[in-house]
């Protein structure tokens, strides 16, 4: 194999090459635009420190911008005899510009090159997911407000417990997403630090300006210690996977409730027909297959962090080829999560809510606490009121004709959706996507 950055002039066993390269050629296509951006920032810095001439930089940047456009259009390819995206970019530059193309790797290792690629890739994917989480949040809040006066039974131990409402139910999942957004912001903070310049994990004798590449790529800060920068491989993926597992838990749980509440035994809501499938033998069936698949996929997503930990959790400092396998686990995470967010939002928008569910006599006992509290408000000690109501239930005489009066923050009558929305706004704004977009636009200008 001649097209390798580490080529030393001897042929490698084809079987070994196939095994060690693995799926990198296919997976690295995802990294192509980010590898090119990293290269543009790196050579811009090399020119400022005197390791690349102005003429060379002016020759390289237009070619890299052209390659970036190819990658963005999905037309960038990695040739069969080329090991990875880094080799392909350098090869294409060398074919076009000759020896000038061989200068782009100065002061770099594939180790810090793939690190910066992965961080730029993860940063872009997190932004996309944040937008989808925010959109689902707004949809859930809209449903919460629309159905805030529609009562449904609340459950503990899957037994009828107390009155709840669709306002509470939709709103609960909306607020859960604010917690997930906090996790995504933590992952963003881990991702949005620049490893470029750490080389193979021990820095470089070249007078690199790492602060400049940090600015050029829109990172918030550096991973300063070069050994630590290499140690973030695996740690970064695990932080992102943990955040995504939090989102997946919320979305998967919502899907589970959707399956439950749309079944005949509950009948609180009806899923859009488009989201159900029939049976090959039972003409009446409308199965919630989409929500079942969301539930399964979200469970799968929650396992990614453990897989990442098992691949890298017991490695010492320094680089090891084990880390290559992370891509196979890490890359599918984003599309899988985003597709679940999209389909669940579509389902929520199309749900039909039953407005008279609590009229069913089997939910009468859900109002027992209301009766207890009514007695307490009349001066009966709580424990005595509890016993009175329990006795009426045992004797079959319990009845409740009152009206609900829940006023505290976060209750049926006081959802506080505006405060929850304000929290989400603050979280979304904290990502400062505009700074990143401005930096990349300037780099490509």
User: What does the pLDDT read at residue 1?
Assistant: 42
Structural domains of the chain sorted by starting position, each given as residue range(s) with its CATH number in brackets: 14-103 (1.10.275.10), 110-359+415-444 (1.20.200.10)
Cα-Cα end-to-end distance for the chain:
36
Categorise residue 400: left if φ over 0, alpha if ψ from -120 to 50, beta otherwise.
beta
Tokens, residue 132:
């989808």
**pTM of the entire structure?**
0.92
Tokens, residue 5:
């950055």
| Per-residue CA distances from 277 to 92, 286, 295 (Å) | 49, 5, 16
pLDDT tens-digit readout, 71-88: 999 999 999 888 899 999
**What pLDDT tens digit does each residue of the chain (445 aa) get?**
445 544 555 566 666 656 655 666 788 999 999 999 999 999 999 999 999 999 999 999 999 999 999 999 999 999 988 889 999 999 999 999 999 999 999 999 999 999 999 999 999 999 999 999 999 999 999 999 999 999 999 999 999 999 999 999 999 999 999 999 999 999 999 999 999 999 999 999 999 999 999 999 999 999 999 999 999 999 999 999 999 999 999 999 999 999 999 998 999 999 888 877 766 677 666 788 899 999 999 999 999 999 999 999 888 888 888 888 999 999 999 999 999 999 999 999 999 999 999 999 999 999 999 999 999 999 999 999 999 999 999 999 999 988 888 999 999 999 999 999 999 999 999 999 999 999 999 999 9
E-strand stretches of 219-322: 221-222, 269-270
Separation CA 300–CA 294 (nearest Å): 10
What is the maximum span of the chain, computed from C-alpha positions, in angstroms?
A: 94
């Amino acid at each position: 194999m001649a097209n390798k950055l580490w080529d030393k002039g001897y042929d490698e066993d084809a079987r070994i090459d196939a095994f060690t390269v693995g799926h990198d050629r296919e997976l690295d296509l995802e990294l192509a635009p980010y590898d090119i951006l990293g290269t543009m920032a790196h050579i811009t810095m090399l020119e400022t420190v005197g390791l690349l001439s102005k003429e060379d930089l002016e020759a390289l940047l237009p070619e890299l911008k052209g390659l970036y456009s190819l990658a963005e259009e999905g037309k960038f390819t990695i040739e069969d005899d080329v090991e990875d995206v880094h080799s392909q970019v350098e090869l294409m530059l060398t074919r076009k510009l000759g020896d000038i193309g061989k200068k782009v790797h100065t002061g770099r290792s594939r180790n810090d090159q793939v690190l910066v690629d992965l961080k730029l890739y993860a940063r872009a994917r997190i932004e996309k997911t944040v937008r989808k989480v925010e959109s689902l949040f707004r949809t859930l809040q809209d449903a919460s407000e629309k159905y805030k006066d529609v009562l449904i039974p609340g459950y503990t131990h899957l037994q009828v417990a107390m009155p709840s409402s669709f306002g509470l139910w939709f709103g609960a999942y909306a607020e859960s997403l604010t917690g997930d957004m906090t996790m995504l912001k933590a992952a963003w903070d881990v991702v949005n630090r620049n490893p470029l310049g750490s080389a193979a994990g021990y820095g470089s004798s070249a007078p690199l300006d790492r602060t400049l590449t940090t600015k050029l790529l829109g990172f918030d800060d550096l991973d300063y210690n070069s050994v630590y920068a290499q140690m973030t491989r695996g740690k970064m993926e695990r932080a992102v996977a943990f955040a995504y597992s939090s989102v997946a838990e919320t979305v998967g749980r919502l899907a589970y409730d959707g399956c439950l509440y749309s079944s005949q035994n509950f009948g609180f809501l009806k899923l859009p027909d488009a989201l159900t499938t029939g049976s090959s033998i039972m003409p009446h069936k409308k199965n919630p297959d989409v929500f079942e698949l969301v539930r399964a996929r979200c469970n799968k997503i929650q396992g990614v962090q453990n897989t990442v930990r098992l691949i890298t959790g017991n490695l010492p400092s320094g680089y090891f080829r084990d880390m290559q396998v992370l891509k196979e686990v890490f890359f599918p995470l984003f599309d899988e999560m985003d597709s679940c967010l999209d389909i669940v939002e579509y389902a929520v928008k199309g749900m039909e809510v039953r407005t008279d569910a609590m009229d069913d006599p089997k939910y009468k006992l859900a109002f027992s606490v209301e009766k207890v509290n009514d007695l307490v408000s009349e001066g009966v000690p709580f424990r005595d009121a509890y016993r009175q109501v329990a006795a009426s239930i045992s004797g079959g005489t319990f009845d409740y004709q009152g009206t609900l009066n829940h006023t505290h923050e976060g209750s049926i009558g006081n959802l506080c959706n505006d405060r929850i929305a304000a929290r989400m706004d603050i979280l979304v704004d904290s990502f400062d996507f505009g700074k990143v977009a401005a930096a990349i636009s300037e780099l490509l200008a």
